[in-house]
Amino acid sequence: MKKYDDLVEFWQHKNIKTSEQLEQALDNFRILFAYHSGKIENKEINFHDTREIFENGKVLNFTCDPRNLFEQQNQKLCYEYLVDKIIKKDPITLDLIKEVHLLLTQGTFDHKRFIENDERPGQFKKHDYVLVQFEVGEPPELIPNLLQELVDEISEEISNPLKVATYFHAKFEFFHPFADGNGRVGRTLVNYYLMIHNRPPLIIYDEDKKLYYEALGAYDKTEDIEPLFLFLEYESTKTWERQLERFLRDHMAADWGLEQ
């Protein structure tokens, strides 16, 4: 926990007040987050294409499934949409959740969901998608009320934003409110919540997805958020490890200088 406390100090030392300052702080992070978040559920996502989309707005010599490009372009559009809202500290609402889903999944629904099931990006699911393990997924008719209750819960005064973000993510993924894209939306909202509470965002790395799924599974089975909380704390420090080391080294040097 001490390392995470140092990380919070590092982030708050940035004193981010404007969209420009936030974009500067997230310059490399935004690409890595988009790549790893996409890669967790789509193994064909690659870093080169993601970087090209974020930095140049296009990809040359692409030969794979166009859906991969749509997904990563959507990550960029969603990031750009949320920047000003983070600065204004707009709370999470049902409308925000649906807008994030629309931005992240537009153009990516498959034929069965879009044509046969008449489901759309930005809308809660119309059919029951219950995952086999632990029967995760609430019935579609319950989703609006369940999510509204969850949003109300996390809007209360809190002392540990990472703990609340963990709780939100565990419940959101358990509800499985959309026909597709629940993981991408949930991970994006975790970071949104953290940043509007002046906490550093995090990357859930593709190489750690086994641990990620195990932590989510622990909640689904026992409703214990502690494994997921510890995992997100670990990923937070992993995300900013190099910058944090420089920050602590510079502060130690400054303290040493003052003592001379």
CATH of the structural domain 2-259, one choice from 1.10.300.10, 1.10.3290.10, 3.10.20.30, 1.20.1630.10 = 1.10.3290.10
What average pLDDT does this structure show over 35-61? 90
More confident residue, 252 or 135: 252
Residue bearing tokens 């369940």: 146
Those residues with Cβ within 8 angstroms of residue 76's Cβ, 6 or more apart along the chain or in another chain: 30, 34, 53, 54
pLDDT band at 135 (very low <50, low <70, confident <90, very high): low
Task: Give the CA distances from residue 2 to residues 8, 198, 211, in Å, rounded to whole numbers and listed in that order.
Answer: 10, 17, 22
Confidence (pTM): 0.93
Report phi then psi at 136, rounded to 5. Answer: -75, 135
At 260 the pLDDT is: 39
Cα(118)–Cα(126) distance, integer angstroms? 8
More confident residue, 76 or 157: 76
What average pLDDT does this structure show over 139-167? 94
Average pLDDT, the chain: 91
Look at residue 85 and give its three-state secondary structure: helix
More confident residue, 218 or 113: 218
Q: How far from chain centre, in Å, is Cα 210?
A: 17
At 240 the pLDDT is: 98
- Judge whether residue 136 has pLDDT over 80: no
Sign of CA dihedral 143, 187, 163, 192: negative
Percentage of the chain exceeding pLDDT 90: 76
pLDDT digits (tens, 9 = 90+) for 16-42: 999 999 999 999 999 999 999 999 999
- Judge whether residue 212 has pLDDT over 90: yes
pLDDT digits (tens, 9 = 90+) for 226-248: 999 999 999 999 999 999 999 99
Give yes or no for a contact between 219 and 225, defined as CB atoms under 8 angstroms apart: yes
Q: N- to C-terminal Cα distance for the chain?
A: 31
Cα(97)–Cα(130) distance, integer angstroms? 20
At 163 the pLDDT is: 97
Ranges of H-type helices in the chain? 2-13, 19-25, 29-41, 47-56, 66-88, 94-105, 111, 143-154, 161-175, 182-196, 209-222, 226-239, 241-259
Give yes or no for a contact between 236 and 200, defined as CB atoms under 8 angstroms apart: yes
Specify the DSSP class assigned to residue 240: T
- Judge whether residue 65 has pLDDT over 80: no
For the chain, the structural domain boundaries read: 2-259
What average pLDDT does this structure show over 55-83? 86
Q: What tokens does 99 get?
A: 């807008």
Cα(115)–Cα(173) distance, integer angstroms? 25
